[in-house]
Structure formats: C-alpha cells, structure tokens
Amino acid sequence: MDKYFEDKVAVVTGAAGTICSEVAKDLASTGMTVVLVGRTLEKLQKVEAQINAAGGKATAFACDVTDKASTEELAAKVIEKFGKCDYLVNGAGGNNSKAVPKIVAFDPRELEEDRPENIVGLYNVDMEAFEKVILTNTMGSVYPMLAFAKYMAKQGSGSIVNFASMNTYCPLTKNFAYAMSKAAVANFTQSFAAYFANAGIRINAVAPGFVVNERTKTVLGTPETGLTKRGQDVIDHTPTKKFGQAHDMCGCVRFLLDERMSSFVTGVTIPVDGGFLTLSGV
C-alpha cells in the first residue's frame, strides 16, 4: 500500500487480458481504486474478484472501446461513481488470425482462383478482420483518451499509458494490420501528449516485447515444451534469452503513471523487451 495512491482512480481497458489483468492487480495493490474495462463482463468479474479478495478495490464495466458513444457513456459513469479519473491505461487491443497471411512474401499463386490451400497471402486475408485490427488498436485507445481526458483537463491533472509493441519499431513478418496499428500508437501518443500537456495531462506508452500468453504458446512455443522456429528466432534475437512475463510490464506502467517519478516525462514509448531492439540480427 502507498498512501499517495489511496484516493486515486485508475481505469484499465483490456483488463481481462494477460498483461492488463496483471497491471490492474498491481495498481490495486498500491491502494488505488481500479476500474476494469473490457467487452465481456464475466471475464472482468474474475479479475475483480481476485483484486477484492486480496484487499484491493476494483469495479468492472463492460464496454466496447471502439464505439465512441459507449466509451463516452463509460467515462460519465466512472465520474458519476468515483468523482474523478486520475489514470487511464489503454490495454485493449490485439490481432486476428483472419488478417494474417501464411506466407511472408508475394507468391503469384495467391492470385489464382484454384490456389493451394497453404498459399494464403495478402490478397487472400479477410479485409474486414484487417480493418477491425486497425480499429481496435487505434480508435480503441483514441476514444478512451478523448473521453477521460475531458475530465482530467477539468481537474488539471492526469496520466495516460497506451500499449505499443515491438511491431511499433519494425513490422514483424505477416503482421501487416497489427504492425500498422501499433506503429500508429507511438505516433498518436506523441501528438496527444503535445496537445494535452497544457491541461496537465501526461501521455506515454509501453512497448512490450514477446510476453508469454496462450497465443504465444501456440505460435512461439515455450522453452519448457519446445520452441517453434519462430520462437527460437525470437529467443536468439533477445539478449536476455527469455520471453517476458505479464508482470514485467507493471513497473514501467506504474512509473509512467506516478507523478512523483515521471512528472517530466510525456510523449515517450518505452520498450520492455529483454533487449530485443538492441540486436539488428546481423
């Protein structure tokens, strides 16, 4: 517990996910009230119960943060219930396998009507899913920023943390929509930070490296059960020779939120990646 945080209110979107559920629990452990936001209330309630059982304070709200009206309604409800919002963590986001090709370079066969089943290129992906990935990872943070910054500006203070990615810096193969959207996160983090600085609002981002979750276990494997080729490539490219854990993000998020430690920090994206970005691969 930290007395400084006892009267603070933090909103965490994507709070049922692997990373942001841990972030929410960590923030709650400081004594602040944490508002858990996601699309599925049942999943959020599990995190809510864990936090409250540990002596923390958490409340769950279901909301689709890609819907402007719903996000504005959420912000109004939070302010009505708690009187303010000090912190916003934009953790909602993700990828969609339907938007991901199976090949890493153009193959003329992807243009053929009777193409082989394993030849799935950019011309064969579901473009609705492609657009949805971009919408979720961009407007899914923009709408909450606008909705909650309105109230933060009135109180003259606030801190927002967005979630970028290794794809922010260099697109990984096959991740076209995801990489596009995560590159945008660093850009709009800067532009929103500059815009809202005179309102007393700081806006920064965290860029996780390769963090263990159910999806990465399938795509990358694990050191314990065996790595896929892609997984081994990641490990070979990571100086610490390991994947990250969700709790590895908590310290950086807390640092960026805490005015005592980061009051002069805004508009930055901080990699938490085990050194992945330090190696060029050459």
Number of residues in the chain: 282
Q: Is 222 helix (H, G, I), strand (E, B) or coil?
A: strand
Token digits of residue 88: 């916003």
- C-alpha span between 209 and 274 (Å, rounded): 7
- C-alpha span between 47 and 59 (Å, rounded): 9
- C-alpha span between 74 and 213 (Å, rounded): 28
Pick from 273, 141, 151: which is nearest to 203 by CA?
141
- C-alpha span between 130 and 1 (Å, rounded): 42
- C-alpha span between 212 and 262 (Å, rounded): 28
Residues of the chain with pLDDT under 70: 282
- Note the pLDDT tens digit of each residue in 46-83: 999 999 999 999 999 999 999 999 999 999 999 999 99
How confident is the model at residue 214, as a pLDDT?
Answer: 75
How confident is the model at residue 1, as a pLDDT?
Answer: 82
Domains of the chain and CATH, by start: 3-96+135-209+246-278 (3.40.50.720), 214-243 (no CATH)
How confident is the model at residue 282, as a pLDDT?
Answer: 66
Q: Say what the pTM is.
A: 0.95
Cα 128 to its chain centre, rounded Å, is 21
How confident is the model at residue 273, as a pLDDT?
Answer: 96
- C-alpha span between 88 and 65 (Å, rounded): 13
Beta bridge partners of 207: 271
- C-alpha span between 132 and 126 (Å, rounded): 10
- C-alpha span between 171 and 177 (Å, rounded): 10
Contact 72, 147 (CB under 8 A): yes
Question: Would you name the residues annotated as active-site residues?
Answer: 178
Q: Is 254 helix (H, G, I), strand (E, B) or coil?
A: helix
Pick from 131, 132, 105: which is nearest to 120 by CA?
105
Token digits of residue 59: 């409340």
